[in-house]
Structure 1
Amino acid sequence: MFYVADSSLNFAEAVSGSTAPEAILATLRLVEVTYYGFDGRLHMGQLVVSCAVEEDVREIFSLIREVRFPVNAVVPIVRYNWSDEASMEANNSSAFNYRVIAGTNRLSRHALGLAVDLNPRQNPMIYENGQILPSGAIYQQDAPGTLTESSLAVQAFLQRGWHWGGHFQHVRDYHHFEHGTIPSL
Structure 2
Amino acid sequence: MTLIEALNGTLAPDNIRLQMVLLSIPYWGFDEQEHVGQLVVCNDLANEVREIFRIIFEAKFPIEKMIPISKYNWSDERSTDDNNSSAFNYRPIHLTNRLSIHSFGRAIDINPMQNPYIAIDGSVHPETSTYNPLQPGTILDGDIVVRTFEQFGWEWGGRWTDRKDYQHFQKNEVHS
User: Above 0.5 in TM-score?
Assistant: yes
CA distance, structure 2, for counterparts of residue 128 and residue 16 of structure 1 = 33
What is the CA RMSD across the aligned residues, in angstroms?
Answer: 1.0
CA distance, structure 1, for counterparts of residue 144 and residue 58 of structure 2 = 11
Aligned to 2:118: 126
Deviation of residue 129 (structure 1)? 3.0
Aligned to 2:104: 112
Decide which of 10, 15, 32 is 1:23's aligned counterpart. Answer: 15
Amino acid at match of 2:23: V
Decide which of 133, 136, 139 is 1:141's aligned counterpart. Answer: 133
Aligned to 2:4: 12
CA distance, structure 2, for counterparts of residue 82 and residue 73 of structure 1 = 16
- CA deviation map 1:127-146 (0-9, x unaligned): 24331110111101121111
Deviation of residue 92 (structure 1)? 0.1
List aligned pairs for 1:30-179, cutoff 5 A.
30-179=22-171
Deviation of residue 73 (structure 1)? 0.2
CA distance, structure 2, for counterparts of residue 10 and residue 173 of structure 1 = 29
- CA deviation map 1:22-49 (0-9, x unaligned): 1111111000001111011111100000
CA distance, structure 2, for counterparts of residue 160 and residue 78 of structure 1 = 27
CA distance, structure 2, for counterparts of residue 180 and residue 160 of structure 1 = 12
Deviation of residue 150 (structure 1)? 1.4
Q: 1:14 to 1:140 in 2, by over 3 A?
A: same
CA distance, structure 2, for counterparts of residue 129 and residue 81 of structure 1 = 28
CA distance, structure 1, for counterparts of residue 152 and residue 39 of structure 2 = 18
Amino acid at match of 2:92: V
CA distance, structure 2, for counterparts of residue 35 and residue 125 of structure 1 = 22
Q: 1:43 to 1:116 in 2, by over 3 A?
A: same
Deviation of residue 167 (structure 1)? 1.1
CA distance, structure 1, for counterparts of residue 171 and residue 155 of structure 2 = 6
Aligned to 1:3: none
SS in 2 for 1:53: helix
Comparing 84-93 with 53-62, greater Cα deviation is found at 53-62
- Give the unaligned 5+ runs of structure 2: none
- Report the TM-score, using the length of structure 2 for normalisation: 0.95
SS in 1 for 2:63: coil
**In the comparison of the two structures, how many residue pairs are matched?**
173
Q: 1:34 to 1:103 in 2, by over 3 A?
A: same
SS in 2 for 1:52: helix
Comparing 18-27 with 124-133, greater Cα deviation is found at 124-133
